[in-house]
A and B are shown apart, each in its own frame.
Chain A
Amino acid sequence: MSHPQANLLALFAGGELPWWMRWRLRRHLGVCQTCRREVEGYRRAAAWFRQAAAELPADFDWERAAAEMRANIQLGLEAGECVSAPGRAPAALRWRVAAALASIAVVVVGGWWLHMPHPKAPRPEAPLVESTSDGIQVRESEGSLALLNPRAAPVMVFASAEGAMTARFVDEETGLVTVNNVYVE
């Protein structure tokens, strides 16, 4: 089986393909688990980055952050010149410079770490329902119950704000419409 190029899968994951290409790819994904996993991976990565961006403080000052970074780099370069000049500074001074650099590094890395948006993985303490590439499922801390989509047939998924998810498709073998539902109480 030939697989679509990775860039097409990435565009598909982001919903950026024109409809006819989307349709063709969806047909392929219906029968190719490898590509389905690839698309799921792109979606997860994109979701993570978007969530990370969305969780930056509203008043985050990019100009100031850039200026601070430039200043830190400049300071590091100048300090580097001090310590790299052979035989000009006594040992005690070199240790002081090294300690200062280490402190700066701690401050810079610490500040970056504190400002870095950390992905908050959902802790499924209470049940939730969701749609995945395999089907729809109700998930809790101890396990999950999924109703699987057929491999070949197109599936329509609907959400209800009362806490239910529906996947509807036509069974290719029987020709009957099947409606799978998962509910969270």
Chain B
Amino acid sequence: MVAACLATAAGQTLRVDFPAESPVTVVSADWGASEASPRGGALVVDLHTTLRLRNSGAAAIRGVTLVVLAQEVTPGGKASVSVPSLNVAPGETFPVRIDLRLLRPLQATAGPLVRVELDGVLFDDLTFYGPDRLNSRRTMTAWEIEARRDRRYFKSVLAARGPEGLRQEMLASLARQADRPSLDVQISRRGRATALAAGRRLEFAFLRWPDAPVEPLSGAALVAPQEARDAVLDVRNRSGRLVRYFEIGWILQDRFGREYLAGSVPAEILLRPGETAQVSTDTTLRFSRAVPVEAMKGFVSRVEFDNGEFWVPSRERLAGDRLDRLIGPSPEEQRLVNLYRKKGLEALIDELNRF
């Protein structure tokens, strides 16, 4: 392993470990304003670093995911930082910024407090390198498929409606992002020692898309003013292909008609053509405020086939059912809109023409 062990201002350590044969290598690390300060009986450690990585491989990189581990502090949890929508040619470098805060007991621990490891790198031919402990291959591949879908769409807008049409699309996307309803959520596994409010069982209404390989048949969850839990979904694989993963988007509607994306229900399950299955969650979604839930909607947001290919909803489907304002833009749309906002229409058109 190639290791870079870096000291923070508080004398604690952060260790960056990449495999020796990794197609990305650490060039440098900038530590900015990292610091540690006592708070009551605990120590708050703020770590701010920008790792500069080099593409040492032979293919262009589309995305990278780093795992962030603090085993002494949170043995039951972990974190990761991903950078999708990259276009890094061999030999080029790119930054990955990590801003983290640790709250830990004052007692000193031996060894590195935080370890940063490589979970995976996605290349432009959709090949992947890395241990993939966080399923980052799946996530980054889906982002890349969405990125291609969105670039194709914006290019078609440019071709059909010209620069002014593209500008309108960017402004509409900015408006959707500003208007996206948000709901702060806390997630815990079942069995956690918290008071569960008495819930009522509510059925899902599904958005049925004929081109979706997986069809939701029925489903329900327990909802209370401040939480939703125990979602159970029945689905059928109506495609002619073996499905190994899918996600259902979960929308809550309150009594005033306001809708929120509560979360997604992922399922890693082998579904043969025509087969039905039931999936359930063992987590509780606890909201930061009471939401008088009157109805729930579900929609298929992602399907992975056995050969690693993906299905994602088209932009037309998302816009037609007004889901685009709820689920937000793809990472690539977010990047392109930001490019337009910062550098203008010409820069955006140049960027689209690079692909």
Contacts and interface: CB of A to CB of B under 8 A. Distances in A.
Do they bind each other?
A: yes
A171 B231 CA distance: 35
Given A163-B189, A176-B83, A157 B335 contact: no
Contacts of B194: 120, 122-123
Interface string B65-106: 000101001111111111111100000001111111111110
Interface stretch (B159-167, B283-291, B314-322): B283-291
Interface string A6-29: 000000001100010011000000
A68 interface: no
Interface in B178-209: 178-182, 184-189, 191-195, 197-198
Given A50-B289, A177-B83, A183-B79, A143 B331 contact: no
Interface string A171-184: 10111111111111
Contact of B68 (A50, A132, A147, A168): A147
B338 interface: yes
Contacts of B97: 171, 173-174, 178
A61 interface: no
Nearest to A122: B194
Contacts of B187: 128-130, 159-161, 163-165, 184
Contact of A177 (B74, B84, B178): B84
B250 interface: yes
Contact of A178 (B81, B101, B339): B81
Nearest to A51: B226
A138 B79 contact: yes
Given A176-B85, A176-B86, A161 B182 contact: no
Interface in A130-170: 130-132, 134-135, 137-140, 142-148, 150, 154, 156-165, 168, 170
B334 interface: yes
A126 interface: yes
A67 to B, nearest CB: 26
B188 to A, nearest CB: 4
A174 B281 CA distance: 37
B134 A183 contact: yes
A64 to B, nearest CB: 21
A144 to B, nearest CB: 5
B195 A55 contact: yes
Contacts of B185: 130-131, 157, 159, 165
A182 B290 CA distance: 24
Interface in B274-318: 281, 283, 285, 288-290
B145 to A, nearest CB: 15
A160 B263 contact: yes
A125 interface: yes
B236 to A, nearest CB: 20
Nearest to B47: A148
A14 B289 CA distance: 8
A81 interface: no
A132 B102 CA distance: 14
Contacts of B103: 143-144, 146
A173 B48 CA distance: 14
A46 B289 contact: yes
Contacts of B338: 170, 175
B77 A140 contact: yes
Given A171-B97, A179-B84, A143 B73 contact: yes
Contacts of A164: 187
Nearest to B247: A160
26 contacts: A43-B184, A47-B226, A54-B197, A54-B224, A55-B195, A122-B192, A128-B187, A128-B189, A130-B184, A142-B74, A145-B77, A146-B100, A147-B79, A147-B99, A157-B184, A157-B185, A161-B266, A162-B283, A164-B187, A170-B338, A175-B339, A175-B342, A176-B95, A178-B83, A178-B97, A183-B77
Given A132-B184, A144-B74, A183-B80, 5 more contacts: A51-B197, A58-B198, A130-B187, A147-B81, A161-B283
Query: What are the 6 closest A-B residue pairs judged by CB atoms, nearest first?
Result: A138-B77, A159-B263, A127-B76, A130-B186, A143-B73, A143-B104
Interface of A: 14-15, 19, 22-23, 43, 46-47, 50-51, 54-55, 58, 120, 122-123, 125-132, 134-135, 137-140, 142-148, 150, 154, 156-165, 168, 170-171, 173-185
